[in-house]
Amino acid sequence: MRLFSALLPPEAVLRRVAEITRELRDLPEAGRVRWTDPAGWHITLAFHGECPDGILPDLGERLGRAARRSAPFHLRLTSGGRFGDRALWLGVADARPRLDPLPPAGDGGKEVVSSEPGGPPLAGAGRPPREAATGRDRPVVRLAEACRAAGARAGAPHRETVPFRPHLTLARSRGGAGRAMAVLAGVPGDVIGEAWLVDRLVLIRSELPSGAAPGAGPRYTPLLARELGTGRAVEATNAGG
Structural domains present in the chain? 2-96+131-234 (3.90.1140.10)
Q: Provide the pLDDT for residue 100.
A: 40
Amino acid at 240: G
By CB atoms closer than 10 A (0-12, 13-18, 19+), residue 178 is middle
Active site residues: 42, 167
Report the predicted TM-score, pTM, of the whole model to 2 decimal places: 0.80
Backbone angles phi, psi at 36, to 5 degrees: -75, 155
Q: Provide the pLDDT for residue 32.
A: 84
Top-confidence range, 42-56, 150-164, 171-185: 42-56
pLDDT, mean of residues 203-208? 92
Coil, strand or helix at 144: helix
Top-confidence range, 95-99, 139-143, 215-219: 139-143
Q: Judge contact between 231 and 65, C-beta under 8 A.
A: yes
**pLDDT level of residue 26 (50, 70, 90 thresholds):** confident
- Ranges 4-8, 66-70, 135-139, 164-168: which has the least confidence: 135-139
pLDDT, mean of residues 148-172? 92
Distance CA 104, CA 174 (A): 57
Mean pLDDT over all residues of the chain? Answer: 80
Q: Higher-confidence residue: 25 or 9?
A: 9
Q: Higher-confidence residue: 96 or 143?
A: 143
Top-confidence range, 103-107, 111-115, 132-136, 168-172: 168-172
**For residue 49, which of 159, 139, 144, 146 has the smallest C-alpha distance?**
159
By CB atoms closer than 10 A (0-12, 13-18, 19+), residue 187 is middle
Distance CA 11, CA 107 (A): 30
Q: Higher-confidence residue: 71 or 109?
A: 71
Can you name the residues that pair with 87 across neighbouring β-strands? 83, 172
